[in-house]
Structure 1
């Protein structure tokens, strides 16, 4: 029997697709290359193109017909005379048109366009985390945290500002705003060690007598020829909450950008989930991009959200095709609005934490607004050896999956931790800007059983501390009955930086160390490198948006804009120019 084309119509057909994916036409046909997605080309591969999503449908009340009715009428077949039969009489002449004011309306009632999804209530969820407090070095001299190369907060905050709204305070993870940008740090020249730290200390522009310690950790960029093959599973949310042009249609465009980057040795599988989950594409090599695109084209949104079941199936598929010499990764596209099966972030966190032991990484890409569940995204990414990003448009998709393709998919280190010990003879207080959800205990730094973030090829991590030098007025009064500080040690060092990491898939960590001293200090912010000045501008932007109490009111939005504008430097993709405009938009919504 000839194989039948598969059509996906929301969640109802997913169960049929599970059975068809293993023995259907996608396995029986010869492997085609890339090409133009047409109904005929996709039908030959077993995928029937769905009907249009209908976002342009219009409904008019009263005696007017809907545009859909007009399209159906215009497509009616003409009457054709049949030999031997008397043709029908001609139709009567049309009635004169009614006067323009003669529209007849029904009783007042809401008019619903059948092809539109109902409006979604604002149920967005964000992990609550209070801004880091000021710590006294005499009492707590060591700061430890996991690295964070996620950028979800930056794009999400941009979405709010572009809509003329102030973002919720919990949506502001300042480190993700800072780490959105490439600061051009000096790169490692060899694969081991894979990191090169850079440190700059400058006066704080928003707090008198305090300083900012800017730490940049640049990762090694693996040459393309040395990159391992990819074994990817696209896990795509096709539930009803993903309807709308900024959700499933945008997710499909984003995945097509990723497909463009694939090499012949790479392999892709696809799983879709709504009320249930099913495989829509068996493992397919990078030469068969047309088949991947056709599988994406067939996806429609509808039904509830069995995200937990989708994750289980995606991980099972990744393990089934696990290649120890490849990068094995699940790529999740969702709004995070799980509502069927395992939907609790804590339970899902435990699930993905168990799965990371299998060597499968997780990348989470968020979409949509109104019901976006950032809490779920963070729980999955931080516990699944993964990263999280938010896609607010096609340009962001291109940045994430084309421009940052290597850093997004090819890890160079796992469980990367940073620890800074401050010298009490030089520093009396410190405050880590951001990383509130990434803090670790001091003893976690040397414990290889404690999970931390991964870093991809060529990626960098930036962290900024605000410090109070000894002799400057501290934030809090000294204790009346406290013990006297211990004798000064460490000479001219301000602090000591340590970085701990594991090779990808490794179980034993390695250590990089570096003192921070007088040679890292600059007399003024204006004399500091461009990278430091721009990073400080982004840190100020995030803190002011979040309403942090440590940024003096005299350092206003105009000062933030001027600092960013003066440190734009080379800006090949226009990202820094866009940021300058966002600082102006922030002033409009915040007012001061």
Structure 2
């Protein structure tokens, strides 16, 4: 069963002006084509989408952090792009110093009516300064309370630290994405740019309550690090996730029904802080069951099963990559779905070797 929510879409011209500070990892670990070079190409795409009312500052860090470009109007895109093109790998990785400088720049250029956001591009590896998450996270939380948010974009494979990058974005009240191809960069910074930059709802919590008379058992697939206790659903001091304009969030449940039914199986509630009004709002809708799965939900089930197999979940003991491939091939349509089919085939080839 799929539970999905989507934020209100805004046109590019409806977006607030953006004061952005790029904090870019230029350490030796970024010296790969799919890391620093992909960062440069990705930021070109982002800058090309900016409006004259936006501004960009750039901080880089290797062994130490330094300001590469002070806040510059997006009217002068060539100056911003030239600074990005100059990036070269250097030294070890002092992520703490880079973020401190980036937040200090964002604080100095802060505008109450604008989007004030730090954008971190890194492989998440930190080996100089405060290398663990805790020390960095405390200051990031403080800035988030002052409406300076953090988005993190991960690049690279191998020693890439996904956990740190996600933790940083969580504490910075922002979004996180992994970029491994230029096409993914185009999607995030072109089709989804407004949602990436402008948050419309903060501390979004979703609660699903199934009717025990109609549902024998259920389990949420994934989201272990996003779990909120039932008693904290209406505790508005509890930190939760953010939704950008047009962003979608999907949760999958494995459900065993007491009997086949099209009737309401329960209730889904959404509670959030409205970013504009600053008021807490709560919505509720019935959870409706169907006897057959749509092709979209069947494809999502294949993706979920693939994840369960990779993590060696006990729930996937009777599943195989062949089962996943059969489901995915039968329901894949768009380019992103076909890319998943190729990924499953690659996994099967690797597992045979």
State the Cα deviation string for residues 282-307 of structure 1 (Å, max 9, x = none).
11111111101111122221112221
Unpaired segments ≥5 residues, structure 2: none
Is contact 2:11-2:194 (8 Å) kept? Answer: no
SS of residue paired to 2:153: strand
Structure-1 residue corresponding to 2:304: 539
State the Cα deviation string for residues 230-249 of structure 1 (Å, max 9, x = none).
11000011222222222222
* Structure 1 pair 447–585 and aligned structure 2 pair: CA distance change class (3 A): same
Structure-1 residue corresponding to 2:200: 412
Write the distance in 2 (CA, Å) between the matches of 1:399 and 1:226. 19
Write the distance in 2 (CA, Å) between the matches of 1:580 and 1:240. 34
Q: Which of the numbers 197, 209, 212 marks the counterpart of 1:424? A: 212
- TM-score by length of structure 2 reads 0.93
Greater strand share, structure number: 2
* Residue 496, structure 1, aligned to residue 284, structure 2: no
Cα root mean square deviation, aligned: 1.9
Deviant stretches of 4+, over 6 Å = none
Is contact 1:545-1:590 (8 Å) kept? Answer: no
Write the distance in 2 (CA, Å) between the matches of 1:217 and 1:590. 36
Q: Which of the numbers 22, 45, 49 marks the counterpart of 1:261? A: 49
Structure-2 residue corresponding to 1:137: none
State the Cα deviation string for residues 156-191 of structure 1 (Å, max 9, x = none).
xxxxxxxxxxxxxxxxxxxxxxxxxxxxxxxxxxxx
Alpha-carbon distance, 1:421 to partner: 1.4
Structure-2 residue corresponding to 1:106: none
State the Cα deviation string for residues 508-547 of structure 1 (Å, max 9, x = none).
421010122xxx322223xx3x322222221122112222
Alpha-carbon distance, 1:449 to partner: 1.3
Structure-2 residue corresponding to 1:123: none
Q: Which of the numbers 330, 345, 350 marks the counterpart of 1:589? A: 350
Q: Which of the numbers 531, 549, 558 marks the counterpart of 2:322? A: 558
* Structure 1 pair 463–308 and aligned structure 2 pair: CA distance change class (3 A): same
* Structure 1 pair 590–423 and aligned structure 2 pair: CA distance change class (3 A): farther
Write the distance in 2 (CA, Å) between the matches of 1:313 and 1:543. 40
Write the distance in 2 (CA, Å) between the matches of 1:452 and 1:359. 16
Number of residues of Structure 1 aligned to a counterpart in Structure 2:
350
Structure-2 residue corresponding to 1:276: 64
SS of residue paired to 1:287: helix
- TM-score by length of structure 1 reads 0.57
Write the distance in 2 (CA, Å) between the matches of 1:590 and 1:445. 42
Alignment of 1:182-221 (within 5 A): 213-221=1-9
Alignment of 1:94-133 (within 5 A): none
Name the structure, 1 or 2, with higher relative contact order (CA <8 Å, separation 6+).
1
Alpha-carbon distance, 1:273 to partner: 1.2
* Residue 311, structure 1, aligned to residue 79, structure 2: no
SS of residue paired to 1:247: helix
Is contact 2:38-2:181 (8 Å) kept? Answer: yes
Is contact 1:243-1:301 (8 Å) kept? Answer: yes
- 497-506 or 269-278, larger mean C-alpha shift: 497-506
Structure-2 residue corresponding to 1:579: 340
Write the distance in 1 (CA, Å) between the matches of 2:108 and 2:47. 21
Is contact 1:268-1:286 (8 Å) kept? Answer: yes
Alpha-carbon distance, 1:506 to partner: 5.9
- 534-543 or 322-331, larger mean C-alpha shift: 534-543
* Residue 522, structure 1, aligned to residue 293, structure 2: no
Q: Which of the numbers 121, 131, 135 marks the counterpart of 1:333? A: 121
Write the distance in 2 (CA, Å) between the matches of 1:234 and 1:324. 19
